[in-house]
Structure 1
Amino acid sequence: MLNKLKGLYVITDNVLTPKDTMLQQVEKALQGGAKIIQLRDKKNSDEDIEKEVIVLQNLCRSYRALFILNDRVELAMKLQCDGLHVGKSDYHRMKEIRTNFLGYLGVSCYGDIKKAKEMEYLGVDYVAFGSFFASSTKPNAAVVNTNVINEAKNILNIPICAIGGITTKNVSKLIEQKVDMVAVISDIWKSENIILKCEEFKKQLG
């Protein structure tokens, strides 16, 4: 089951992947080797994105990639999404989410290894740490030392995802720490050739 939780993890963005071009952009990322696609929509209602979720999930399945929905717990359960990712606003209900959601479950732990261990105990499938570099998507996010990955690797038995300001120029620092997944937004969507950019990441990730 966990063999899906490795490689290039690409996240959509309301500005960088607008509704009218998002599907084409995501397909290019998949063609370039993205293993995981997360729909992260901070603007629209569950009703507004329901069709997109279904289409994206089917697109990911056609490329044997994993689709993950960000934050929309009830929608993920309703549509039986392949994956769901949540943050600290849902920490208090993780036991309930894990009981009722049957797909892959990931959680953001920022720089908190103790919290990550607690989440592992509650049954999540992977944890995400970051921001590791200054991020234009989350300019106010605290920057976490890359050593966190190595420390977490010694304590956790589940895959680890790194996020935050990751580019093809700095990803090697995370690969050295044996990170399982790298989540990327800006460096992919702002590139002139999405396919080539994803291929470049894939080559480095091995």
Structure 2
Amino acid sequence: MKAITSLLRHFVVQKARFSNKEAAHCIAAGRVLVNGQKGYLNQVLLPEDTVTLDGAVIKAPQAFIYLAYYKPRGVESTLNPNIENNLAQALGLKERVFPVGRLDKESEGLMLLTNDGVFYNRISHSDNHQEKEYVVTVNKALTSEVIAQLAAGVEIMGQKTRPAQVAQVGEKAFRIVLTQGLNRQIRRMCYKLGYEVERLVRVRVVSIEVGELQPGEWREFHLEEV
């Protein structure tokens, strides 16, 4: 998912149905304003920009949506309408938003959804080492050795996972903060150490927390929260 951009001249040609020469004269004469300022030929337009021609709006700013959603167990992290129990069905929104990262069907908790491509790429790109925090319940008692191994990294799928922050919070439960998102990473790590995951809840992505959201609920958030 990428932010949609275009050059001002090309945009005026398409929107006003001018020739390239007419669009260039129009822009040079100051008839085209971008966010209230005189535009220039090869100015790159961003989704949030407002463009006017002779005072009439020909491009309104795109309204970005940022949602914190508690994905229930059993909902698939996809917008594919051909897959049962998909996100689009679960959310029931008119606006199209995209999940930032995934949670497997049997996992639950916080998902971020947006139509802002820049934000999407910044959070979802694994090289950015963005923190994601989970509370995990396994099928038998944990040991200090297992907690230490989870923190140090576990060999899965031919590679060792990055070091993680791990703290035991119950006889069979622990918190873990990851900075990568390998496929079914926590489940694979636990399985490699002889455990099965009984419940996996994501409670935080960067600085956005699931808070008091209940399964199936969502709230809007602002970029200032991140």
TM-score in same-fold range (> 0.5): no
Which band: TM-score by shorter chain? Answer: under 0.3
The structure whose Rg is larger is 2
- Write 1 or 2 for the structure with the bigger share of helix: 1
Relative contact order, higher structure (CA 8 A, sep 6+): 1
- Write 1 or 2 for the structure with the bigger share of strand: 2
Q: TM-score, normalised by structure 2?
A: 0.22
